[in-house]
Amino acid sequence: MAYASNFRVLTANRLADGRVVYLGDRDWTVDLGAARLVQTNADAEVAERAGREAVAARLVVEPYLIDVEAEDRGVQPVRLRERIRAGGPTTGNAVAGNAATGAARETA
- Residue 70's pLDDT is what? 86
What pLDDT, in 10s, does the model give residues 24-74?
Answer: 999 999 999 999 999 999 999 999 999 999 999 999 999 999 999 988 888
Buried b (16+ CB within 10 A) or exposed e, 82-100: beebbeeeeeeeeeeeeee
pTM of the model: 0.78
